[in-house]
Amino acid sequence: MYTPPMDLRQLEIIRAIADTGSFTAAGEKLHVSQSAISRQILLLEEELGEAVFHRIGRRIRITPAGESLLQLSHRVFRDLQDTVAGISERQESLNGTMRLVGGMTVCLYVFPALLAEVRRTHPSLDLKITVGSADRSVAMLRSGGADLGLVTLPVEATDLVSVPVLQEELLLITYPAHPLAKKRQIHPADLDKEPFILFEAGSVTRRLVDEFFTRERIEPDVVMETENVEIIKAMVRYGLGISIIPWQAAAADVAAEALFCRRIAGHTLRRQTGWIYPKMSRLPRTVAEVIRVFEQIRGTFDEAARAPRTY
């Protein structure tokens, strides 16, 4: 079995010698005698079978083997520091400000439950929410106006990290007395020339819907565009048009029989939602903690995003 020929103290001594340029100064820095420093280096060199430092008169020069150990010491102590800091952080309640940004549907149907759970765990954390499109979310993250975003993917931004977390099914909605609501199945051809109230052009969700229309050669009569899903539903309830929206946004209205909802026969429309945040060597604890809490209750959101098979 292999036994490492060195310990943390020896790595610390190598760093001190490299920093100070002498065994004596290294001893003073570490509060040990020069002879103790020399003894540890001698033991290490005997185990390695190779010199770590060359002694040239009163000067020393680090060898290639010593340089390798010096780089190792930097990595080891950096990892040790990060690990200890992480353990200490997890034992402390979060405070300060956490700034989240997300689309309208996310702010209505994901953030309330998520942030209630975050606040239960970290009551001193000040949570600030901004509603914004994917483009606005990216701009806020780049400018420092937000710490973490939950938006519809994909987001083309090489300076940001994207982490998919949810798949939301998109379904057709109408008012309950609409002629389409009387059909057992709704086919793409049934939607041609229908008045539609859709998400704004340029949004990822609108792009998914437009691509579906193009594939199926549907020419919708777009009578209104808005990013506010509650406005879309209100217009549909009053018979001003039909729409395609995420199931979780329609579920309560369908259960109350205020809206009719159906999949389009032969087609499953889905959009992906995910976290976005700036690339960095170490994720801020507030960001990591919100993501961790989300993962703990993720099953709730997964279930809410899936429509029953009967639709």
- CATH number of the domain bearing residue 55: 1.10.10.10
Looking at the fold, whether 228 and 151 belong to one and the same domain comes out as: yes
Looking at the fold, whether 251 and 212 belong to one and the same domain comes out as: yes
Domain count for the chain, please give it.
2
Looking at the fold, whether 20 and 80 belong to one and the same domain comes out as: yes
Last residue of a domain, one of 74, 90, 106: 90
> Tokens 């040239």 label which residue?
56
Looking at the fold, whether 222 and 297 belong to one and the same domain comes out as: yes
Taking Cα atoms as reference points, which of 80, 59, 63 lies closest to residue 9? 80
Looking at the fold, whether 308 and 238 belong to one and the same domain comes out as: yes
Looking at the fold, whether 196 and 273 belong to one and the same domain comes out as: yes
Segments of the chain with pLDDT less than 50? 1-3
Looking at the fold, whether 42 and 56 belong to one and the same domain comes out as: yes
pLDDT of 38 reads: 86
pLDDT of 3 reads: 46
Looking at the fold, whether 140 and 43 belong to one and the same domain comes out as: no
Looking at the fold, whether 165 and 53 belong to one and the same domain comes out as: no
Q: Which ranges constitute the DSSP H helices of the chain? A: 8-20, 23-30, 34-48, 64-90, 104-109, 111-121, 134-143, 204-215, 229-237, 247-255, 285-296, 298-305
pTM above the 0.95 mark?
no
Q: Which domain holds residue 66?
A: 8-90
pLDDT of 56 reads: 80
Q: Using one digit for the tens of pLDDT, what is the confidence trace for 128-140?
A: 999 988 899 999 9
In angstroms, the CA 90 to CA 86 distance is 6
Q: How big, in percent rounded to 5, are the helix, strand and coil portions of the chain?
A: 50, 25, 30
In angstroms, the CA 112 to CA 115 distance is 5
pLDDT of 2 reads: 39
pLDDT of 86 reads: 63
pLDDT of 9 reads: 85
In angstroms, the CA 125 to CA 115 distance is 10
Looking at the fold, whether 18 and 150 belong to one and the same domain comes out as: no
pLDDT of 6 reads: 62
Give the domain CATH number at 140. Answer: 3.40.190.290
Taking Cα atoms as reference points, which of 53, 54, 51, 130 lies closest to residue 98? 130
Looking at the fold, whether 230 and 304 belong to one and the same domain comes out as: yes
Last residue of a domain, one of 60, 90, 120: 90
Q: Which amino acid is at 224?
A: M
2 within some domain: no
Mapped onto helix, strand or coil, the DSSP state of residue 135 is helix
Q: Are strands 160-174 and 243-246 parallel, antiparallel or unpaired?
A: antiparallel
Taking Cα atoms as reference points, which of 266, 268, 264, 260 lies closest to residue 182? 260
